[in-house]
């Protein structure tokens, strides 16, 4: 049952693996990610190293082309359908872009309702990733098959967090993570449903919500909805305590078993995030004030290169984004329509607002075009996106306002989780020295905790706004789509982080619509200069630690899956 399959002769993007026991690995499909993904790698199972790696997004549907020529009022509901794992994030990003294009400022309660939707989507998504998509790589069946010695060690290692998560040994945790049969696996499905139940109270349905609109939301929320939502959010207090304890235990166990596990999926600490969850009184939807309202978000926008924070300014972040198609199944589009952004800063012709989607289907050639994803870069750097990027930017930005439960410390995020069935507790996610597959997953577990608290605070603020009544309690602000030529951008985040929508309207009709998803960064192919995407680089940096007798490339898959890629977001 080896995954080994021959790869095209032209494999090895820049050079083929040289001699030794190296061979080409092709994993088609990479399962347990969203959307179609293939991994090509040159791996040396003798030297335990990887010399080359390439990721192919295998699906293209043409959403950006479909949106062109449609009424602006269709934008939110059509673009949401680009991704069914985080359709809510796309709906909200689209609504923000339309807010800007139509110069409408949603009322505070409308902003809070959007925040709530964003938070609940993350609360469904993180357990799904941690236990359904990434989790099985650390579960009993995979560990015992790929590394019998590690499994034996897990059976003999007590779990430090047993008091919190209830599993005595590491092997008990791993057994509980077994697909479909394991208690933790099934609990994660149940918790993902719990979050979705709360989501649909406000969003109507999921994954494609029916109440998100420019100007706010159209939800008719009554006191029962608040109560039902709150009863579900507080269930996450204990669940996040347990999830953090489980991923702390798993990470420590792997590090202690073999320190080389720290090299699985290691990367350069480049992160990009647009932040999410707006201050209901700061957000006005305008580009002019985006720096201000961006920095007032619960999660701070940020660009981090080599572990150093570059900016928290949404406008600077946006202006640095470029998409390259030299290695992607598209034709170039020449010069774009905009030489400058809305703030007058010079804009690259590769900026999303200048991009045109011109598909060019063909055979994947690893020396040429090989993916349906474009290569999104920030100031030329490949950047990681996702919940970890959000945590890094929020921690380093130290701008997070508002909160009674969360404190950004500059070197981490400290959190007070209120009482559930368990007593209230203090936790701190610390910016790790190491960066690899394990830290990505562990950070996502802490992001579950962070998001639970954000969700709780937003419900409490929403209740307060409703009680006070008046104009702030409205959920929607009427708007008109201008007849003239207007542009708008929506900067938001989903379970996987960064998502921006760029809309250009003329006579109320969409002239150009561009979507940049988180995996357009993380899961990107090489750019025009040949620089690999973050997940490709992480595979190349991986040490094949597990003995992996069947050569199933388990450590490479751990590296890829730790990014929580969604190829439907990457290539629409």
- Enter the DSSP assignment of 147: -
* 28 is a site residue for another protein (CB under 8 A): yes
Q: How far apart are CA 514 and CA 500, in angstroms?
A: 8
Nearer to another protein, 117 or 272 (CB): 117
* 85 is a site residue for another protein (CB under 8 A): yes
Least separation in angstroms between residue 473's CB and another protein is 10
Least separation in angstroms between residue 384's CB and another protein is 22
* 549 is a site residue for another protein (CB under 8 A): no
Element (H, E) at 162: helix 162-165
The one among 332, 460, 474, 482 contacting another protein by CB under 8 A: 474
Which of 378, 377, 268 minimizes the C-alpha distance to 328?
A: 377
* 60 is a site residue for another protein (CB under 8 A): yes
Q: Please, which residues have CB within 8 angstroms of residue 259's CB and are 6 or more apart in sequence?
A: none
Cα-to-chain-centroid distance, residue 419:
28
Pick the stretch among 192-200, 243-251, 412-420, 430-438 that binds another protein (CB under 8 A): 192-200
Element (H, E) at 51: strand 49-57
Handedness of CA 536, 537, 538, 543 (dihedral sign): positive
Strands 308-311 and 302-305: antiparallel
The one among 49, 192, 328, 353 contacting another protein by CB under 8 A: 192
* 223 is a site residue for another protein (CB under 8 A): no
The one among 20, 148, 158, 362 contacting another protein by CB under 8 A: 362
Least separation in angstroms between residue 437's CB and another protein is 15
Strands 406-408 and 412-417: antiparallel
The one among 46, 149, 152, 193 contacting another protein by CB under 8 A: 193
* 482 is a site residue for another protein (CB under 8 A): no
The one among 12, 22, 127, 203 contacting another protein by CB under 8 A: 203
Nearer to another protein, 94 or 291 (CB): 94
Which of 102, 159, 15 minimizes the C-alpha distance to 285?
A: 102
The one among 179, 268, 326, 420 contacting another protein by CB under 8 A: 179
Pick the stretch among 200-208, 334-342, 381-389, 539-547 that binds another protein (CB under 8 A): 200-208
- Enter the DSSP assignment of 354: G
Starting at the edge strand found earlier in the chain, the sheet holding 49-57 runs: 22-27, 37-44, 49-57
Alpha-helical (H) ranges within 432-490 are 437-468
Least separation in angstroms between residue 197's CB and another protein is 5
Task: Identify whether the C-beta of residue 18 lies closer than 8 Å to the C-beta of residue 39.
Answer: no
Q: How far apart are CA 565 and CA 87, in angstroms?
A: 15
- Enter the DSSP assignment of 531: P
Nearer to another protein, 213 or 348 (CB): 213
Contact positions with another protein (CB under 8 A) in 93-152: 110, 132-133, 136, 141-142
Least separation in angstroms between residue 34's CB and another protein is 5
Pick the stretch among 190-198, 251-259, 301-309, 410-418 that binds another protein (CB under 8 A): 190-198
């Amino acid at each position: 049952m080896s995954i080994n399959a021959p790869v095209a002769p032209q494999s090895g993007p820049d050079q083929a693996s040289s001699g030794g026991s190296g061979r080409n690995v092709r994993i088609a499909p990479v399962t347990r990610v969203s959307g179609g993904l293939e991994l090509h790698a040159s791996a040396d199972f003798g030297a335990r190293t990887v010399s080359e790696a390439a990721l192919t997004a295998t699906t293209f549907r043409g959403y950006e082309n479909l949106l062109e020529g449609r009424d602006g009022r269709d934008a939110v509901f059509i673009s949401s359908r680009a991704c069914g794992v985080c359709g809510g994030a796309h709906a909200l990003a689209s609504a923000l872009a339309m807010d800007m294009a139509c110069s409408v400022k949603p009322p505070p309660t409308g902003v809070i309702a959007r925040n709530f939707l964003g938070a609940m989507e993350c609360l469904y998504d993180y357990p799904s990733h941690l236990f359904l998509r990434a989790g099985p790589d650390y579960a009993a069946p995979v560990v015992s098959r790929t590394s019998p010695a590690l499994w034996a060690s897990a059976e003999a290692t007590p779990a430090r967090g047993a008091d919190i998560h209830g599993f005595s040994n590491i092997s008990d945790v791993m057994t509980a993570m077994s697909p479909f049969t394991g208690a933790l696996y099934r609990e994660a499905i149940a918790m993902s449903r719990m979050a979705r139940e709360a989501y649909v109270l406000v969003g109507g349905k999921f994954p494609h919500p029916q109440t998100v609109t420019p100007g706010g939301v159209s939800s008719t929320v009554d006191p029962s909805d608040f109560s039902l939502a709150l009863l579900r959010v507080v269930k996450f207090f204990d669940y996040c305590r347990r999830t953090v304890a489980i991923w702390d235990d798993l990470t420590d166990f792997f590090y202690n078993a073999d320190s080389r596990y720290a090299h699985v999926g290691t990367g350069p600490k480049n992160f990009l995030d647009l932040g999410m969850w707006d201050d209901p009184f700061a957000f006005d939807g305008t580009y002019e004030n985006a720096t201000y309202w961006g920095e007032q978000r619960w999660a701070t926008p940020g660009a981090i290169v080599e572990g150093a924070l570059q900016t928290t300014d949404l406008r600077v972040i946006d202006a640095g984004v470029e998409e390259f198609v030299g290695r992607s199944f598209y034709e170039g589009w020449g010069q774009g329509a905009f030489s400058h952004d809305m703030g007058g800063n010079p804009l690259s012709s590769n900026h999303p607002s200048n991009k045109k989607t011109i598909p060019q289907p063909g055979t994947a050639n690893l020396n040429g075009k090989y993916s349906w994803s474009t290569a999104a870069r920030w100031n030329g750097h490949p950047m990681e996106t996702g919940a970890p990027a959000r945590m890094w930017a929020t921690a380093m930005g130290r701008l997070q306002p508002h909160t009674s439960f969360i404190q950004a410390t500059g070197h981490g995020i400290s959190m007070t989780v209120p009482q559930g069935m368990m007593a209230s507790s203090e936790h701190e996610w610390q910016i790790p020295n190491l960066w690899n597959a394990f830290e990505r997953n562990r950070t996502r577990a802490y992001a579950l905790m962070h998001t639970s608290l954000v969700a709780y605070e937003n419900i409490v603020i929403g209740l307060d706004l409703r009680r006070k009544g008046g104009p702030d309690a409205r959920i929607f602000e009427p708007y008109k789509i201008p007849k003239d030529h207007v542009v708008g951008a929506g900067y938001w985040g989903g379970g996987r982080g960064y998502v921006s929508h760029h809309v250009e309207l003329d006579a109320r009709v969409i002239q150009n619509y561009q979507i940049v998803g988180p995996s357009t960064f993380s899961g990107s192919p090489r750019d025009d200069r040949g620089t690999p995407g973050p997940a490709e680089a992480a595979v190349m940096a991986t040490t094949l630690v597990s003995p992996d007798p069947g050569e199933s490339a388990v450590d490479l898959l751990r590296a890829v899956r730790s990014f929580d890629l969604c190829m439907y977001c990457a290539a629409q």
